[in-house]
Amino acid sequence: MEVIAINNVYKTYVESEIEVKAVRGVSLRFQQGEFAAIVGPSGSGKTTLLNLLGGLDTPTAGEITIGGTHIHQLKPSKLIDFRRDNIGFVFQSYNLIPVLTAKENIEFIMQLQKRAKKERDQRSLELLEAVGLADRVNARPAKLSGGQQQRVAVARALASKPKFILADEPTANLDSVSTEKLLDIMEKLNREENITFIFSTHDTRVMKKARRVITLEDGLVLSDVIK
């Protein structure tokens, strides 16, 4: 089943009166259950493309459709709701709320969705178990290692039961051991629960795990390889 369709998408920025063409006519399709990496050098457009996919930025031209919804046509308030309910985000800087425990960080998005407390409790504990942190339920971010914080971030991204997860350089701040643990967890979730993962990365370890590698250069798709 097709989750995402990108049709002839462009994104142009103006910086100091100079046009920067970050994405130039990209067309891609993603199916349910993919484990894909968007790769390329700095300035290739991979983070911009991920932001467009997540509705964090709007295309200058072209169409982005997620589950049949044209996200670029949504009003800002509707787009916020759509992102909350359909897209999970994992960032390289973790972005956990420091005053909340691991469990509370995961529950936060479910509170925004007005889910019942019993459901929030059950889902957050299940997710902490899934990412190997069942013993760190009440730990705040400052008491967690970088790898543990990123695993909480993955659990938080899954909390809303999104259609797919977007991960922007999720291993950039992690050592090799933490990276392997994180990738193993995400790959397990992908295979066992058919969760779609799309990475923006320059990490060769992520590229090796990915079953599809899309290479960008100067805002264009240079290659699209399914392993």
pLDDT surpassing 80 at residue 60? yes
Query: In the chain, pLDDT over 90 holds for what percent of residues?
Result: 81
CA 106/CA 94 separation, integer angstroms: 12
> What sign results for the dihedral spanned by CA atoms 177, 183, 186, 188?
negative
Decide: residue 155, CB within 10 A, 0-12 exposed, 13-18 middle, 19+ buried: buried
- For residue 141, give Cα distances in angstroms to 11, 40, 112, 120, 172: 35, 31, 21, 19, 18
Confidence of residue 17 (pLDDT cuts 50, 70, 90): confident
Average pLDDT, the chain: 93
pLDDT in tens, 135-167: 999 999 999 999 999 999 999 999 988 889 999
The CA radius of gyration of the chain, in Å to the nearest whole number, is 17
Does 2 have pLDDT greater than 80? no
Residue 93 pLDDT class (50, 70, 90 cuts): confident
Count of helix runs (H) and strand runs (E) in the chain: 7, 10
pLDDT digits (tens, 9 = 90+) for 166-198: 999 999 888 899 999 999 999 999 998 899 999
Asked if residue 1 has pLDDT above 80, the reply is no
Q: What local confidence, expressed as pLDDT, does residue 173 receive?
A: 87
The DSSP bridge partners found for residue 91 are 168
Residue 223 CB partners (closer than 8 Å, separation 6+): 213, 214, 215
CATH ID of 32-59+68-226, from 3.20.20.120, 3.40.50.300, 3.40.50.12780, 3.40.190.10: 3.40.50.300
Residue 37: predicted pLDDT:
97
Q: What angle do CA 167, 13, 78 make, to 5 degrees?
A: 55
| Rounded mean pLDDT, 21-34 | 95
- The three-state secondary structure class of 210 is coil
Residues with Cβ within 8 Å of residue 151, at least 6 apart in sequence: 131, 132, 133, 181, 182, 185
Rounded Cα distance between 187 and 164, Å, is 13
Does 101 have pLDDT greater than 80? yes
Looking at residue 76, its pLDDT comes to 92
